[in-house]
Amino acid sequence: MSATAITSAKAPAKPRQKRLSRQLLLTAHVLVSVGWNGVALGQLALAVTASVNGDIRHPAYELMHVFDRALNIPLALLTLATGILISLRTRWGLLHHWWVVTKLAITVFAVIFAAGFMRTLIVRAGDATADGEIHYSAPAVAIITGACLMNALFITATFLSTLKPWGRTRRGRQTGPRRRGPVPVSPAEPPARPARETADEAVPEPAGAPVPSPATTSPGGAHL
């Protein structure tokens, strides 16, 4: 086998590897984002339970704090990182479509809100109920409100990923559509030749062959 044939046989491997890497990255993004949403739903359920049941109020806040340290922040950062990588490696781009920009802003806000606001409230609520009594009700209401806001942000981001509304941004219109790979250009085809000319070239007349005259040929084509 020649070197050209070997090269052409190995050429499709690179696009397949790129497609596989994109699929793996998308799968990872879906897993961590769904996990992050699950943590927010779990914290909302624990916050509501802690506000209505005084017997398990402090354990519920402590469990929320465990979820926050072990799952919430790591999943939030992984969701943000994988989302940026997917945008950069696909035709959507990071700042080329409004739904991507909006989803990026939602994710960044959710990360900051979870790390800077929700974590502080959960720690305060755990400290306030350490002796089995709740000394103030503000953290409970604020935690429930914050958990509801987090889930609303996740639902909005899910709708944006599904519907992809609003079209391109100004930067996206200037750069034009992005392609995943080079588009092969086929060579220009020659114009079609007349069928009679092709038939004449395919079956040439022998040299010196007699040409039948109209007088010696019947309408059916038989010689008289």
Domains and CATH numbers, the chain: 13-174 (1.20.120)
Q: What is the largest CA-CA distance in the chain?
A: 125
CA–CA–CA angle 197, 200, 202 (5° rounding): 110
Q: CB burial class (10 A; 0-12, 13-18, 19+) of residue 49?
A: middle
Q: Report the SS3 class of residue 223.
A: strand
DSSP string, 124-154: HHHHHTTTS--S-SHHHHHHHHHHHHHHHHH
Q: Identify whether the C-beta of residue 119 lies closer than 8 Å to the C-beta of residue 71.
A: no
Which amino acid type is present at position 111? V
Partners of 97 in the β-ladder: 168
pTM over 0.85: no
Distance CA 158, CA 140 (A): 27
Distance CA 47, CA 67 (A): 12
Return the pLDDT at 15: 79
Residue 125 in tokens: 């609520």
Q: Please give the chain's pLDDT, 224 residues, in tens.
A: 555 554 444 555 677 888 888 899 999 999 999 999 999 999 999 999 998 888 888 999 999 999 999 999 999 999 999 999 999 988 888 899 999 999 999 999 999 999 999 999 999 888 888 876 666 666 888 999 999 999 999 999 999 999 999 999 988 888 766 555 444 444 444 545 555 544 445 445 445 545 454 444 444 444 43
Residue in the block written with tokens 């599904």:
162
